[in-house]
Structure 1
Amino acid sequence: MMNNLYPIKFYPILKDKIWGGQKLKTLLNKNSDLPNIGESWEISDVEGDTSIVSNGSLKGQTLKELLATFKSDLLGLQNYKIFKDKFPLLIKFIDAKEDLSIQLHPNDELAAKRHNSFGKTEMWYVFQADIGSNLIVGFNQDMTPKKYLKHLENKTLTEILNFDKVKEGDTYFIEVGRVHAIGAGVMVAEIQQTSDITYRVYDWDRVDADGNERELHNDLAIDAIDFNMPDNFRVTYNKTENQSNEMVSCPYFTTNYLKVNKSIHKENNHDSFIIYMCVDGEGEIKANGFSEVIKKGETILLPAAIKAYEIVSKEATLLEVYL
């Protein structure tokens, strides 16, 4: 089966969001007539939103079909034992024209019990930010459930939230149970567990075209918030060129920063697929006799069976993701 495998691209799944804008179209060349494109799901195995291959001999097949056919050749042996025919990560680009809702995600245990789903540990890499824009991550003071609920009730939640001014390259690790939101004017690459479970706690009192407020999930959220988390969400990392620099390593994924300005040979020693998200420039990935160009705003999946490959670029900034 190995011979059929090559660097795989998928058609992006674009999501219209009340807070979305047009940057995914104008800056990342996503083709859409949607008025407010909030998210581009680059690789997804979420029920009802399964990615479809856009290149090569497997074009037109779904990610589900690939998993059924290639199994551990796609995922890696250990990953296949754990996840079987489910792809463990959801890969996105997000454009927030307006502030997203204040939200959080449940852990694996709560998500399994309540929603028959994985939890949603995630990370953000900021690859464009308007001047003065913020991310909201965690609280700006010690917090208790009682104090939190009082502010929620009084609609003064923003007084206790931590606002971080951000710029390109800033990276955040968002663990389950941490209150967070992407602020207006920020574009991020988001890497997360395959889960679409979000508990919304405050949505800036905004209404949709029909005058309805979006649903909040405060009853579910109060048990899911971790009020004792340390402020360890900002990620520091090296930017040594032409080699992988670790940004985040957690039980659910590892993400590296890789800036390429020549031809580099890479080995896959991880017993895992490898995903490349291009956040700047463009390059070419050569593997198994195949060659695929990757441009800013594009994502490529290298199946686990591909053990050696080459990345060629005059200048490309890539996020390298595996399990």
Structure 2
Amino acid sequence: MTTVKAYPLQFKAEMKERIWGGRALEQYGLELPEGAIGEGWMIGDHPNGITKVINGELAGQGLDQIREQFGREWFGSRGFSEKNGRFPLLIKLLDCNDDLSVQVHPTDSYEGLPAGELGKTEMWYILDAKPGAKIIYGLKEGVDRASMEAAIAEGRITDTLQEITVQAGEAFYIPAGTVHALCSGVLVAEIQQNSDTTYRLYDYDRPGLDGKLRELHIEDSLNVIAYEGAGAQRMKTDGVKHGEWLTIASSPYFLVEKGVVAGTVALSTSPESFVILVIADGNGSLKWDGGEQAVKAGECFLLPATLGAYELSGNLTVLRSIVPE
């Protein structure tokens, strides 16, 4: 096997049509197929979407092929799901042109999970929000399984939900078990466990893309909701200065930091984990031993654990994610 020197990997996004999607991802220069595009899977190694490399020596190869060839060396000693051997994270950009269903995700240990599927703890960073844009974020105080079941039966589930107004630059940590929904008018970067399991509690009685009502998963939802709360957190992230890194989400599956570059910042990978960079705003360049690449808002890069030293320069807002200890 020829040796490939580690370099930052960029992938062609896998676009997903969604009833709630729109065309806003075009502003990042991404190629959108026809229709209402709700999700761009930017870095994915899941049966429902495997992204392919578009730069450098490995162009054309899927993330699954790279995992098979370079394994722990490139992804790091922590860079695998112990449960299914796949890449542990899924990175998305979401265009919420309409409200998403009210939903909840299971933990890894939920018995109802499909074989090989992980639970889904996630975090959101709000890239853009129209004035007054809202999200549903958790349950109102005192809602338990019995009162939730009663509210569903009586068609008043919205009475149980906590709704909040959001602004660009806010970060939300959403552990599995947290009831949530993005609503219309937000553009979001999502870093999550590599999972595509969503249980829908409520979908506004609207038809799906095929004209039929979308399936609800009431029993699974009631089973996996963390009624006492799962540790969800909300954070304003405005105060970050050049060269600083602010932790905006910390979980067993990912550690996400926000950094601002105004000039040049020297960084390095470590052998334990790959690094994912999501360029949230601005433009500049990414330099490493053996190469340089222009970067701009909306682009995502997977830096192998063996890359070592790298530099970011320009005027950039960056989300940096690793798999923690």
The Cα offsets for residues 13-51 of structure 1, whole Å up to 9 and x where unpaired, read as 0000000011011x2222123220100000001114111
What residue identity is the alignment partner of 1:37?
A: I
Give the Cα–Cα distance (whole angstroms) in 2 for the partners of residues 78 and 239 of structure 1: 28
Q: Which runs of 5+ in 2 are unaligned?
A: none
Q: How big is the shift at 1:114?
A: 4.5
Question: Counterpart of 1:24?
Answer: 25
Of Structure 1 and Structure 2, which has the larger fraction of its residues in helix? Answer: 1
TM-fit CA distance, 1:210:
4.7
Task: State the Cα RMSD in Å.
Answer: 1.8
Shift of 1:81: 8.6
Identity over aligned pairs, percent: 34
Which residues of 2 match residues 213-292 of structure 1 at below 5 A?
A: 213-229=213-229, 232-237=232-237, 238-269=239-270, 271-292=272-293
Task: Please give the per-residue CA displacement for 1:138-171, whole angstroms capped at 9, x wherever unaligned.
Answer: 1122111111111111221111211110010011
Q: Tell me, yes or no, if structure 1 residue 140 matches structure 2 residue 140.
A: yes
TM-score (structure 2 length as normaliser) = 0.94
1:321 aligns to 2:303 (yes or no)? no
* 1:71-105, Cα deviation, whole Å (9 max, x unpaired): 12211024359478410000000011100000000
Letter in 2 for 1:203: D
Q: Distance in 2 between matches of 1:80 and 1:151?
A: 40
Alignment match, 2:196 = 196
**C-alpha offsets along residues 106-165 of structure 1, whole Å, 9 cap, x if unaligned?**
001016755431100000000100111101011122111111111111221111211110
Matched with 1:122 is: 122
Whether the aligned pair in 1 keeps the contact of 2:178 and 2:230 (CA below 8 Å) is no
Question: What CA distance in whole angstroms lies between the structure 2 residues aligned with 1:76 and 1:84?
Answer: 16
- Give 1:154's aligned residue: 154
Deviations 1:233-263 (A, max 9, x none): 2135551322222111111000000110111
Q: Distance in 2 between matches of 1:225 and 1:87?
A: 26
Alignment CA distance shift 1:80-1:146 (3 Å): closer
Task: Decide which moves more: 120-129 or 1-10.
Answer: 1-10
* Map of 1:166 onto structure 2: 166
Distance 1:149 1:254, change over 3 A: same
Q: Relative to structure 2, which stretch is displaced further, 76-85 or 260-269?
A: 76-85
Distance 2:111 2:246 in 1: 32
Provide the residue aligned with 2:297 in structure 1: 296
For 2:214 and 2:232, locate their aligned partners in 1 and report how far apart those are by CA, in whole Å: 30
Q: Distance in 1 between matches of 2:147 and 2:86?
A: 40
**Contact 2:83–2:118 (Cα < 8 Å) also in 1:** no
**If the length of structure 1 is used for normalisation, what is the TM-score?**
0.94
1:261 aligned partner, one-letter code = A
1:3 positional shift:
5.0
Question: Which segments of 5 or more consecutive residues in structure 1 lack a partner in the other structure?
Answer: none
Distance of 1:115 and 1:199 partners within structure 2:
16
Residue 295 of structure 1 aligns with an amino acid whose one-letter code is K
- Decide which moves more: 299-308 or 139-148: 139-148
